[in-house]
Amino acid sequence: MSSHGAPQPMISRKCGAISGVAEIPGDKSISHRALILGALSVGETRVTGLLEGGDVLDTAKAMRAFGAEINRMEDGEWRIFGVGVGGFAEPEDVIDCGNAGTGVRLIMGAMATTDIAVTFTGDASLRSRPMGRVTDPLALFGATAHGRSGGRLPLTMVGAQDPVPVRYTTPMPSAQVKSAVLLAGLNAPGETVVIEAEATRDHTERMLAGFGADISTEITDEGRVITLKGQPELTGQTIIVPRDPSSAAFPVVAALLVEGSDISLPNIGMNPTRAGLFEALKLMGADITFLNERLEGGEPVADLRVKYGPLKGITVPAENAASMIDEYPVLAVLAATASGITHMPGIKEMRVKECDRIDAMVQGLRACGVQIDETEDSMTIHGMDNIPGGATCKTHLDHRIAMSFMCLGMVAENPVKIDDAGAIETSFPDFIPLMETLGAKFAKLNG
């Protein structure tokens, strides 16, 4: 089932070369953060290019419930009038974050040092995901959380009355955990320090600095040590959201799958903490050019051109896993068509995403005739010339699993079906029509 209604089964048939310009929607990670920091600042924040997908719209709704005024202008610009650090009001009702792990975890952090009680819930996927990874460090500030077994949603968090600053080493590479702690640190006196052994996406740090917070990052033997001075006054900003490299991954991979393809993708976010996929694709021999590399609103951006060419299997560097963690499902599809074996080590975090993404890819790819092996923290894919396809792949309320198998159908000998395309709307609402414009052969099936 999709998060908001009946399942929407779809079919993807083998197609000819794809071509054209792929206009990708705004970055999901940056969009969540723009709304939350806009709500925590004083004055007006203007956001252009915000992702208008389910996940982000749920965060906008939540920020309104905490007292921020948020409006979408006719030209697509979003305007936020914030309540200031520590100014969150207690919402009158449950906060439903839908499918969004980023939304719920960042919002928990943002409210954990304000003396209010908030109950969070989400869809079946989000209710199955671990929240202890954020409620544990938030408890160090003085917040308390009461959830279901395993710390799962629905969960009520009571923010700290007298928050204390925290020094926290993240036990897993997670930008959501890091960001939750930093956002909580905003309303604690003194310095909050987060230490991460591996670099994860740094949009929160960049945006906090842009809003006027005193935040610094030092690279030490322990890893990245991020220090935030508490209780700043954040002031409203103008934010241009770059286009999401994680969404761009689908048309990029589709162009590399289908012989003769040639596509362009303008304005794609190129933050190095997100760019691991492009490094892996280069190692596989992909023909990708990065044009007009520039900085926009504090984030690196480039225009991409991608042309089909035969690829070879690789070992994807484990040290890059955090910078491409959401791209492994679609990379697994591409690896199935590359010559030789592709090994993907160090990807345990894939198991706690919108679904267990290793399991979902193993089941779906095997059903389509691909040889794939798994361990607790790796996948190994054996490339082949012709992928049989012909199966229905389960998507488990996971947008990236759904889009990955729709891409597989573009090159498989027999059509690939997915049981539900509903979740795609959370991050890439126009994925289906955009891919069809480029040349994909997708169709809805009767449920």
Kindly state whether residue 355 participates in binding ligand S3P, applying the rule CB under 6 A: no
Which residues, including other chains, have CB under 8 Å from residue 433's CB and lie 6 or more apart?
none
Distance CA 39, CA 153 (A): 24
Q: Using CB under 6 A, pick the residue from 12, 99, 179, 378 that binds ligand S3P.
A: 179
310 alpha-carbon distance from chain centroid: 28
* Nearest residue (CB) to ligand S3P, 268 versus 411: 268
Q: Using CB under 6 A, pick the residue from 12, 29, 237, 342 that binds ligand S3P.
A: 29
Kindly state whether residue 175 participates in binding ligand S3P, applying the rule CB under 6 A: yes
Kindly state whether residue 135 participates in binding ligand S3P, applying the rule CB under 6 A: no
Distance CA 11, CA 419 (A): 9
* Nearest residue (CB) to ligand S3P, 200 versus 380: 200
* Helix, coil or strand: residue 438: helix
Could you check whether the bond before residue 429 is cis, i.e. omega within 30 degrees of 0?
A: no
Which residues within the stretch 88-107 sit at the binding site for ligand S3P (CB under 6 A)?
Answer: 102
- Sort 191 into a burial class: Cβ within 10 Å, 0-12 / 13-18 / 19+: middle
Q: Which of the following is catalytic: 326, 398, 419, 420?
A: 326
CA distances, 308 to each of 84, 129, 287, 400 (Å): 49, 37, 7, 22
Kindly state whether residue 123 participates in binding ligand S3P, applying the rule CB under 6 A: no
Distance CA 271, CA 30 (A): 11
Distance CA 282, CA 354 (A): 28
Do 56 and 31 form a contact (C-beta atoms < 8 A)?
yes
Neighbours of 372 (CB within 10 A): 20
Which residues within the stretch 145-174 sit at the binding site for ligand S3P (CB under 6 A)?
Answer: 174
Q: Using CB under 6 A, pick the residue from 325, 358, 393, 424 that binds ligand S3P.
A: 325
Nearest to 274 by CA among 346, 224, 209, 202: 202
Q: Using CB under 6 A, pick the residue from 134, 180, 184, 201 that binds ligand S3P.
A: 201
- Packing angle of the helix pair 399-409, 245-257 (nearest 10 deg): 20
Kindly state whether residue 3 participates in binding ligand S3P, applying the rule CB under 6 A: no
Neighbours of 18 (CB within 10 A): 24
Q: Per DSSP, what are the bridge partners of residue 225?
A: 195, 218
Kindly state whether residue 247 participates in binding ligand S3P, applying the rule CB under 6 A: no
- Residues 54-93: x where in contact with ligand S3P by CB under 6 A, - otherwise, as a string: ----------------------------------------
Closest residue to ligand S3P, judged by C-beta, is 29
- Residues 401-420: x where in contact with ligand S3P by CB under 6 A, - otherwise, as a string: --------------------
Kindly state whether residue 380 participates in binding ligand S3P, applying the rule CB under 6 A: no
Q: Using CB under 6 A, pick the residue from 123, 196, 349, 420 that binds ligand S3P.
A: 349
How many residues bind to ligand S3P according to rule CB under 6 A?
12
* Nearest residue (CB) to ligand S3P, 263 versus 358: 358
Q: Tell me, yes or no, if 326 is annotated catalytic.
A: yes
Shortest distance in whole angstroms from residue 377 CB to ligand S3P: 14
* Helix, coil or strand: residue 281: helix
Name the residues that contact ligand S3P, by CB under 6 A.
29, 102, 174-176, 179, 200-201, 325-326, 349, 353
Q: Would you please indicate which residues are annotated as catalytic (active-site) residues?
A: 326
